[in-house]
Amino acid sequence: MEKGANVYSDEHGAYFHLGKEGFNHAFVRHAEEYVHGNVHTNSIENFWSLLKRSIKGTYVSVDPFHMFRYLDEQSFRFSERFGDDADRFLSIMAKVAGRPVTYKKLTGKLEDQTQINGEGIEATETRKAVI
């Protein structure tokens, strides 16, 4: 997040330093109100609700290695929620056109060809890779 960005939160003490860190921080006290002008936490609460519902209902089980992919998908869905299916499809196609992804890269398994003892004997080592 860039310095100077607007950050809206609840009154939790962990957020109070954000103003000193260069962010425009505003908060609501949920004991008194849920919206104060443009300041509210409804959007982020909605996002987390949708994310939890997708993990528990659609995906059922999520491998921690791939968690960032699930978060990216839900971020995209949330950001594009006002468009229709055609808009979302065109947006995705614009992002992936010309960017092939192999199954091995997608699953995080890459093969390394290495030589053993300098004799030209090749061994294949499958390893997890952070993409």
Return the residue matching tokens 């993409």.
Answer: 131
- pLDDT at position 28 is 92
Q: Could you tell me the two tokens for 60?
A: 């059922």
pLDDT tens over the chain, length 131 residues: 888 999 999 889 899 899 898 999 999 988 888 898 889 898 888 999 999 998 888 888 888 888 898 999 899 888 888 888 899 899 889 988 888 888 887 777 765 544 444 444 444 444 444 44
Whether the model pTM is above 0.85: no
C-alpha–C-alpha distance, residues 54 and 65, integer Å: 17
Q: In a 3-state reduction of DSSP, which class is residue 52?
A: helix
CB 108 within 8 A of CB 65: yes
Q: What is the pLDDT of residue 108?
A: 74
Task: Tell me the C-alpha distance between 131 and 129, whole Å.
Answer: 6
Report d(CA 41, CA 44) in Å as an integer.
6
* pLDDT in the model for residue 86: 92
Measured in degrees and rounded to the nearest 5, phi and psi for residue 111 equal -105, 130
